Homo-oligomer: A and B are copies of this chain.
Amino acid sequence: MHSKRLSRPMGRSEQLLFLTDEQLRQGIELMFFAYRGFTADPDRILENYAYGRAHHRAIHFINRTPGLTVNDLLDILGVTKQSLNRVLRQLVTDGLVESRVGTQDRRQRNLYLTDEGIALERELSAAQRARMRKAYSNAGPEAVHGFRTVLEQMIDPAMREKLLNEGGGS
């Protein structure tokens, strides 16, 4: 255990980390309320389009990695193909997502946002980034680093590896 030293004197590591059940409970509730705040803005926007969080997630990751396959998206989102397919079909029908037959492997479908899809993605991510930016600014750079460090630890190990194999940590 790599324990960072604090400026003030401390006892055992439990004390250092304030790992009482009460402290942990506060952390748990913080996650709950913060996640709700985090999704509030996009949820409001999506109501105007008769879409839901599922559509947002699909749009987000297609935007991040244009040309990814349905299977790639399935791995990221962790839902069933039937569930994803309903959402994807709507987005393709509505002209927000384009599904092109793969070039090397023609069983695959490569997914891309259309101009309209890009426009919605911008609207959604702008709102979410604004909230994130405000939270970061108010908290300060040291806090942001800690925020990221703890959150990374909370991700399921298998998923964390996948992310590191592409996103490239800071």
Residues of A within 8 A of B (CB): 1-4, 6, 13-14, 16-19, 21, 23-38, 40, 57, 60, 64, 78, 125, 128-129, 131-156, 159-160, 163, 167-168, 170
Judging by beta carbons under 8 Å apart, are A145 and B148 in contact? no
From A11, which residue of chain B is reached at the shortest CB distance? B137
- Quickly give the copy total for this chain: 2
> Given that A125-B25, A132-B28, A167-B26 are known contacts, is A149 also in contact with B155, CB under 8 Å in the complex?
no
Judging by beta carbons under 8 Å apart, are A142 and B139 in contact? no
Judging by beta carbons under 8 Å apart, are A149 and B141 in contact? no
**Complex A-B, nearest 8 residue pairs according to Cβ-Cβ distance, in ascending order:** A146-B146, A143-B146, A135-B153, A147-B150, A143-B149, A34-B151, A34-B154, A139-B150
Judging by beta carbons under 8 Å apart, are A2 and B140 in contact? yes
